[in-house]
Structure formats: structure tokens, C-alpha cells
């Protein structure tokens, strides 16, 4: 009897183990279904556009030769009238080998805006005196002081220089699959071609303030500008800085000692795309 029970017991154990394992077989089918990447994987963004609008910016001049005096009256360190800008850049980024780095190229427009600070007490009536660029010949531009006239008091002067820019940048994004999220930074070069500049003159006519005069000219300014740019930000907002390697004026055609002047700037931008 015992010899008959032993084979019967082994049969029931084998049947129970087979029945317990059987429900796991559909799970193998579910794993196989994951092999279809279209259902479970979204490809990384390879290339992406950007439209960067520089809303705020301040421009300054650096003198490479500290032994020579700057050819202008001192610039205003902070100028509300030139702070708000509409500089823009349209760029297209190409991701490098599916990494966090991307090469960016594009076009843009920008302006340099220099507001001059008046020299106090230089006028015979004790009024501040402001400088003004005047092109005296084909190859010579001078910086001269403006005189106050009867019924006309100068309140301020500024120089505005617009450019069309060609931009090239190397960008790093902290978020691999979303370049417009998280931290980002970039380093680039800018080649700008100057358009016609203008002198902005604000004055008070008798008792009425708010009058202005705009003089368009080229002022022997350099026809192009080449320099470095750097930016850092989070999400779609950031700050930027730039430095020109080229001088502001053509060689020996601007005011005295102008060959050593190099523009540099600081700004804030937002990416609208």
C-alpha cells in the first residue's frame, strides 16, 4: 500500500507546481510587448529653435590704455532712457551627438547706447556741458561740447549705434530631454555690421522741456564689430555679457585716443520659443 501512495503523492506535487507556475507565463508576453519602443520611449529633442529678446541692457566703454584720457565726457553709469531695449536674436540649435551640448547659429539685431554725463560748471552760466560727435571731414570725427543758446538749454546727449548680427554659440543644457527647462549656459562670438548711427540731443526750449533732436550720421565708426558673448540662465530667462575685440571708431578717424576704446555690455533676456 505504501508503495502505491508514494507515486501518487509525487504526481500531486508535480501537478501543483505546474499549476502555480502557469500564471507567470502571460507576464513573459507582457515583457515582450515592451520591445516596441513606440509605446514606451519618446526620442530626445535633437534640434530646437530659440528667439531671445534682450529686454534690459547697459553699455559701457573700456579704455585699453589707462594712461590716456577717454575722449568723451564720462558716461552715465545708469541710464533709464537707454535701459529698456528691443534687441533680439533668432537661433537654431543642433544637438551634438545626443549630448547636453548644442551648436547654435543665427541672426539678430542689437544697439549700443551711450548716454553722456554732463560736466558741471563748465558753462559761463554754471550749467552742465554735454559732448556731441561732429564729423569734420571724411576721415575725422571730433567730440565737441555743445553750447547753450538763448532759450535753449541742453539736458543730455546720447550716441546710438545699431547693428545686424551674425551669431555662433556653444550651449549647455542641464536637462537632457528638454533644453528649455533647468539650468543653461552658453559661450559665443558675434559679428555685427553697423548701420547708420545717430546722436540724440534732449533740450529745454524756454520753459518747455521734452524737446529732442536726432542727427543721423556715420561718425567714422567702425563698419563691423567682432567680440565674445556669454550667457547663463534658468528655464527661459537669463543674463548676458559681451565684449568687443574691435575698436569703436575706424583707426585714427575718431576723437583723440579713441583707438583704445572697446565696448562692453550687460543685459537680461527671455527666450520666447
54 assigned to some structural domain: yes
44 assigned to some structural domain: no
Residues ≥6 apart with Cβ < 8 Å to 97? none
The predicted structure's pLDDT at residue 27: 47
The predicted structure's pLDDT at residue 144: 85
- Among all chains, which residue has been given the C-alpha cell 553709469? 77
198 assigned to some structural domain: yes
The predicted structure's pLDDT at residue 38: 47
Q: Which domain holds residue 74?
A: 50-271
Three-class secondary structure of residue 54 per DSSP: strand
The predicted structure's pLDDT at residue 124: 64
Residues of the chain with pLDDT under 70: 1-44, 66-73, 120-125
34 assigned to some structural domain: no
The predicted structure's pLDDT at residue 22: 44
d(CA 96, CA 219): 43
Three-class secondary structure of residue 3 per DSSP: helix
135 assigned to some structural domain: yes
Residues ≥6 apart with Cβ < 8 Å to 115? 75, 76, 79, 81, 82, 156, 157, 158
Q: Which long-range contacts (CB under 8 A, 24 or more apart) does 139-144 make?
A: 139/220, 139/250, 139/252, 139/253, 140/220, 140/253, 141/219, 141/220, 141/249, 141/253, 141/254, 141/255, 142/255, 143/71, 143/72, 143/255
Q: Are the C-beta atoms of residues 218 and 248 closer than 8 Å to each other?
A: no
Domain count, the chain: 1
The predicted structure's pLDDT at residue 11: 57
80 assigned to some structural domain: yes
CATH number at residue 62: 2.40.160
d(CA 81, CA 77): 12
Q: Are the C-beta atoms of residues 131 and 145 closer than 8 Å to each other?
A: yes
Tell me the three cell numbers of residue 201: 540731443
d(CA 114, CA 137): 23
DSSP codes, 139-154: TEEEEEEPPPBTTEEE
Tell me the three cell numbers of residue 80: 533709464
**What residues are paired with 262 via a beta bridge?**
62
28 assigned to some structural domain: no
d(CA 215, CA 223): 18
Q: Are the C-beta atoms of residues 103 and 68 closer than 8 Å to each other?
A: no
Pairing of the two strands 47-63 and 261-271: antiparallel
77 assigned to some structural domain: yes
The predicted structure's pLDDT at residue 234: 96
Amino acid at each position: 500500500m505504501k508503495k502505491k501512495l508514494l507515486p501518487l503523492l509525487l504526481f500531486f506535487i508535480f501537478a501543483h507546481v505546474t499549476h502555480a507556475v502557469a500564471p507567470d507565463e502571460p507576464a513573459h508576453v507582457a515583457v515582450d510587448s515592451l520591445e516596441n519602443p513606440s509605446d514606451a520611449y519618446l526620442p530626445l529633442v535633437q534640434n530646437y529653435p530659440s528667439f531671445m529678446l534682450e529686454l534690459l541692457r547697459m553699455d559701457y566703454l573700456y579704455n585699453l590704455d589707462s594712461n590716456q584720457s577717454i575722449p568723451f565726457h564720462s558716461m552715465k553709469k545708469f541710464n533709464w532712457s537707454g535701459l529698456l531695449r528691443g534687441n533680439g536674436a533668432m537661433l537654431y540649435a543642433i544637438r551634438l551627438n545626443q549630448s547636453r551640448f548644442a551648436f547654435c547659429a543665427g541672426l539678430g539685431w542689437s544697439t549700443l547706447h551711450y548716454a553722456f554725463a554732463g560736466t558741471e560748471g563748465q558753462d559761463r552760466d554754471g550749467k552742465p556741458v554735454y559732448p556731441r560727435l561732429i564729423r569734420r571731414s571724411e576721415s575725422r570725427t571730433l567730440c565737441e561740447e555743445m553750447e547753450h543758446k538763448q532759450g535753449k538749454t541742453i539736458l543730455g546727449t546720447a550716441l546710438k549705434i545699431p547693428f545686424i548680427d551674425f551669431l555662433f554659440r556653444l550651449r549647455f543644457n542641464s536637462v537632457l530631454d528638454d533644453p528649455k527647462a533647468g539650468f543653461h549656459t552658453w559661450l559665443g562670438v558675434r559679428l555685427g555690421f553697423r548701420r547708420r548711427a545717430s546722436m540724440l540731443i534732449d533740450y529745454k526750449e524756454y520753459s518747455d522741456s521734452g524737446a529732442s533732436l536726432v542727427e543721423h550720421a556715420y561718425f567714422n565708426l567702425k563698419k563691423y564689430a567682432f567680440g565674445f558673448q556669454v550667457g547663463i540662465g534658468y528655464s527661459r530667462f537669463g543674463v548676458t555679457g559681451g565684449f568687443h575685440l574691435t575698436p569703436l571708431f575706424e583707426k585714427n578717424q575718431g576723437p583723440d585716443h579713441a583707438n583704445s576704446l572697446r565696448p562692453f555690455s550687460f543685459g537680461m533676456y527671455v527666450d520666447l520659443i
